[in-house]
Chain A
Amino acid sequence: MTTPTLMDYDEALAKYEPVLGIETHIELGTASKMFCGCATGFGAEPNTQVCPVCLGLPGSLPVTNRAAIEGIIKIGLALNCDIVEWCRFARKNYFYPDMPKNYQISQYDEPLCVDGHLEVEVEGETYRIEIERVHMEEDTGKSLHVGGSTGRIHGAEFSLVDYNRAGIPLVEIVTKPIVATGEKAPLVARAYATELRELVRSLGVSDVRMEQGSMRCDVNVSLMPRGAAEWGTRSETKNVNSLRSVERAVRSEIERQAGVLSDGGRVIQETRHFHEDTGRTTSGRSKEEAQDYRYFPEPDLVPMAPSREWVAEIRASLPELPAARRRRIQQEWNLSDLELRDVVNAGAVDLIEATIAHGSDAAAARKWWMNELSRRATEQGVELADLPITPEQVARVQAMIAAGELNDKLARKVFEGVLAGEGGPDEVVAARGLKVVSDDGELSAVIDQVIADNADVADKIRAGKVAAAGALVGAVMKATRGQADAGRARELILEKLGAS
């Protein structure tokens, strides 16, 4: 394989216009599989969530999971698609060891949801991504290739197959060609994947975790010379497994294809793999030698004909969708466009909203999640939502602040304790002895000592120089290691010195 010449990104965009297409696979979070009753939990012992149906044993037959159909209809409706009145499953035939039947039950020319769109925003500009189709299929098993250096089948000593994933309901969402995005193409691709993930998550039909493979993007990229009427040949980069990688894969393909084209070469229609480490794609199998899938209507299943009443019921049950929600919270939380974007990008909307629901005010909830907790998430390299702290706990900390039991400095220590697994906020406060000293008796004794130690300052205050009280408050805070309620300390000092 010759090393491809990459073209500088800006130069590439000056010469070529990219056209994108994104196919996204989303595993639905149904309790059971698409065509049998097996469990779907992630991470189980290999081949323990299997039965004759999802193993494709001779004689077994699929039966459609109604919850999965409801899930895909939700997605279709949320993407503004038409839900067809009648459609069928089809068999996609090809041999692969992780496909138990050597065909995948999918949909071909009769998808369930068609003609939708999703609006995404990039740097203040709105792009309308047209959705070609949303269809239902079953996932395959997972192959593990052992002994090779690449983890791919080539060069492996042997392979293992786990069929736990086989038959998990999979929704495929296919965009129409995304044009006229220019140098924003990588960002638009990422914004689309981000918005789609938010949308599906808001529907509660999938956990859309890209790192676990419950959401996977295939990114199609082609280039055409600026001003050209005809699109170029596309490559399809498979299984891009993070939002960041979606952006990088598009960028990398633009640079690679521009290099190929400007060298007088020809872009090959092929499948490519994206490598997280290098940020580059490499060639997979060529589509030109691709197999004929011999699609035909699945004879083991009856056609799907969702009644209009059912679709209407599902439509009525849809939750508030992310775009509408963003408009609402921007208003309710009084956020600027920039602040809103930060909150959304940080994945903090749900967390802040839940914190508010537990009694916190909006500003405080946002402050904690966006500053202190975001910082800690970044330090630990995890998503904000994956921090071991709940919105309820954050609201509890804020309630203690409001009650004067904690101040911000102590609150940060409480968060530290909760994140370190020392228990809930109240337990951390008790164990670490973090309460603000607002008990007048205890505080009074400290103040008496401070006055005794600082007789000169005390005299000035007695003489009416009230501003000098600051020095004594500082001493009180130092003596209590920050736990005193500074306001109350000041009041008591002035009271004791007859200056109030």
Chain B
Amino acid sequence: MELVGKGAAELGELLAAGEVSAVEVAEAHLDRIAAVDGKVKAFLHVDREATLAQARRVDERRAAGEELGPLAGVPIAHKDVFTTTDMPTTAGSKILEGWRPPYDATITARLRQAGLVILGKTNMDEFAMGSSTENSAYGTSRNPWDLDRIPGGSSGGSSAAVAAFEAPLSTGTDTGGSIRQPAAVTGIVGMKPTYGGSSRYGVIAFASSLDTPGPFARNVLDAALLHEAFSGHDPMDATSVPEPVPPVVEAARRADVDGLRVGVVKEFAGEGYEPGVSARFNEAVELLESLGAKVVEVSCPNFTYALPAYYLIAPSECSSNLARFDAMRYGLRVGDDGTRSAEEVMALTRAEGFGPEVKRRIMLGTYALSSGYYDAYYGKAQQVRTLIKRDFEAAFEQVDVLVSPTTPTTAFPIGERADDPIAMYLADLCTIPANLTGNAAISVPCGLADGLPAGLQIMAPVLGDDRVYRVGAAVERALEDRWGGPLLAQAPALVEAK
């Protein structure tokens, strides 16, 4: 049976029915990784034997009659920002090269509990700062649609792994768009849950008030299954919401837009948007209307300020979060030759261990928090955040969901924006508002623009995660009918057919 290419729900059913074993499924995906990851470079760490051992344990649990969830035995690629006791965790940074955490992230533990088999750790922009994986200390991952292009970022290893059929599922974290943007540019589904809906415990922090773990999958239902498997209240995370996980799987199965009001964000169109991206977006809106949604245009005037506010808040928080990397307790240590003070060792380690983008943001944030500048920068940015929240609230009085293109452009060529941080930052233009306010938002494929995938972003109120799955699944079903199958079927083959 051809196992690679099957979705998570389908694999889960085959496993539950005993038609395949977790070991067989894991082996198939490990073989796929061995065949294509030299080109895709999605993974930072793969340990075949350790993965097969995990798979065997799942088979044993099943054989012992243990009640297992729908994803037991399904393989997953895990972003290298989540701590794992049995694999190194680097957050894409040289400063953590080889670090073996003594504890599992809550999400890692929940994946294990649910019987998911972790294939390895995926590449990412250093400390999740970037939109392309070009900021990884360990090289750039490739977009399976065009190996010369970026797979998005920061969770680019995770998007590339799923789009290249190396794994049916992967995890990501979304601080300014780091799940949705890579999903959009690789033609897969990526979801940023409501802030606090998924635990941050064991997620190496970039910006604490924004970081949100979420799922990647090749279809909406699979994403919902993974979302449900690892979400829910975590007493180890004070910002974790106490409310039950919204019924996301049920919503993904429902897949309709009957009676829903859809708002098109007026501000996210026009200059800077590639014509192909705009065209696919407009077709998706028409499609929603044809499916029975009531579409209106909605203005969110303060969304325009989201990007600058984000680039004050996120660097401010990161400047503090990354202070702990000081060579004293773990990670890289430079210059400790017995002649230098702790202070000098800290400085040398940080100079060598952090990449340029991380340093840029630490400097930005340090400046923005400085005495005398705080009110003008950090303080003002927080006020903008409140205004954006009000825009969302006003919009959700008129509509049930908001839609926009996920990104203004399709995947750009590797190197194109590497020396232009502002151009790079624009990749997150449409995704950032939902981070600043904690809203739920998903990206689903909406077609190709010049042969490259474009994404449709669907945003819902806080704790309205089920709503974006419902709409996303409806769009997916209608588009796949139109395309005669998933968008990824149109992607070029990575290996020659035998």
Contact = CB atoms under 8 A, between A and B. Distances in A.
A161 B326 CA distance: 14
B202 A300 contact: no
Interface in B288-308: none
Contact of B378 (A64, A95, A296): A296
A464 interface: no
A294 B329 CA distance: 23
A296 B374 contact: yes
A101 interface: yes
Contacts of B492: none
Contacts of B346: 95
Given A52-B103, A59-B83, A101 B323 contact: yes
A272 B223 CA distance: 59
Interface in B185-210: 200-205, 207-209
B275 interface: no
B143 interface: no
B201 A60 contact: yes
Contacts of B235: 63
B105 interface: yes
Given A292-B371, A299-B209, A62 B238 contact: yes
B320 A59 contact: no
A59 B80 CA distance: 12
Interface string A285-329: 000000010111001111000000000000000000000000000
Contacts of B319: 93, 294
Interface residues of B, number: 44
A102 B328 CA distance: 11
A294 B370 contact: yes
B454 to A, nearest CB: 33
Given A296-B316, A296-B374, A300-B208, A55 B326 contact: no
Contacts of A296: 316-317, 320, 369, 374, 378
Given A59-B201, A102-B324, A302-B239, A95 B369 contact: no
Nearest to A294: B369
Interface string B75-93: 0000000110000010100
B271 to A, nearest CB: 34
A103 B324 CA distance: 8
Contacts of A57: 83, 101-103, 329-330
B320 A91 contact: yes
A100 interface: yes
A373 to B, nearest CB: 48
Interface string A415-441: 000000000000000000000000000
Nearest to B345: A97
15 contacts: A57-B330, A58-B324, A59-B89, A59-B202, A59-B203, A59-B204, A59-B205, A60-B202, A93-B369, A101-B323, A294-B370, A296-B374, A299-B208, A299-B317, A300-B238
B101 A59 contact: yes
A55 B207 CA distance: 19
Contacts of A60: 103, 201-202
Contacts of B237: 61, 63
Which of B91, B205, B238, B346 has the most chain A CB atoms inside 10 A of its CB?
A: B238
Contacts of B326: 95, 97, 102
A97 B342 contact: yes
B324 A100 contact: yes
A282 interface: no
Nearest to A93: B320
A384 B83 CA distance: 51
Contact of B320 (A161, A294, A302): A294
A56 interface: yes
Contacts of B53: none
Given A58-B83, A60-B201, A294 B366 contact: yes
B284 interface: no
A97 B323 CA distance: 11
A63 B233 CA distance: 13
A58 B89 contact: yes
Contacts of B330: 57-58
A61 B329 contact: no
B176 to A, nearest CB: 15
Contacts of B207: 299
A62 B321 CA distance: 13
A159 interface: yes
